[in-house]
Amino acid sequence: YKADAGDVYINGKKVVINNPRDARGHNIETIYQTLALADNLDAASNLFLGREIIGPGGFLDDSKMEAETRKIMGRLNPNFTKFAEPVSALSGGQRQSVAIARAVYFDAKILIMDEPTAALGPQESEMVAELIQELKKQGLGIFLIEHDIHNVMKLCDRASVMKNGQLVGTERVADVTEDDILSMIILGKNPKESH
């Protein structure tokens, strides 16, 4: 969707983003709730899907892509070992780490994550939360689209609440309680502005 109002600034510079290719050109990567992975392909093939490494002679350089995948997964999820299996055989958390690795490998500076822990069990959700914290430490700007208020309070620096397509408000998480955020969601107004 193209913006119908407002401006986008990256590092203080106004930018125009008309399509996903423009976004990638500005080092913005998106991890969709559906993950947008090709179930029949392995981790390396998914990581490089559409951006394959071509070796001499014009053929895919599978060994280079696998080596690069092992390197990035070692940094993000050292317990990941299922490099040869199709991603359909991976757990939800492992699939999520492949999607995150794809974004990080291609030098994302801004990461948009749509409900990254949806449909994951507690252990896998915790693994993804740790990944998000690690990416924050590495300096990535993350837009986390999230309905779980506990994840918002645990993972975010600021929370913006939207209701019916309108911005209710943005607050520093350290300055508000869960109840303040819930009140913004339910009532559609910022309690701090009513004082």
For residue 106, what pLDDT is reported? 87
User: Exposed e or buried b for every residue in 135-164, given b needs 16+ CB within 10 A?
Assistant: beeeebebebebeeeebbeebbeebebeee
Q: How many domains does the chain have?
A: 2
pLDDT digits (tens, 9 = 90+) for 104-159: 888 889 999 999 888 788 888 888 888 899 889 888 999 999 989 999 999 999 99
Read off the pLDDT of each residue in 24-51 and give the average, rounded to a whole number: 90
Flag whether the pTM goes above 0.85. no
Q: Is the pLDDT of residue 186 over 60?
A: yes
pLDDT digits (tens, 9 = 90+) for 90-101: 988 888 889 889
Per-chain mean pLDDT for the chain: 90
Same-domain check for residues 69 and 138? yes
Using 50, 70 and 90 to split pLDDT, how confident is the model at 2? confident
Computed over its alpha carbons, how large is the radius of gyration of the chain? 19
Same-domain check for residues 163 and 130? no
- 21 in a structural domain: no
Structural element, H or E, at residue 142: strand 141-145
Amino acid at 118: A
- 5 in a structural domain: no
Same-domain check for residues 106 and 193? no
Q: Is the pLDDT of residue 192 over 80?
A: no
Q: Domain range for residue 61?
A: 31-147
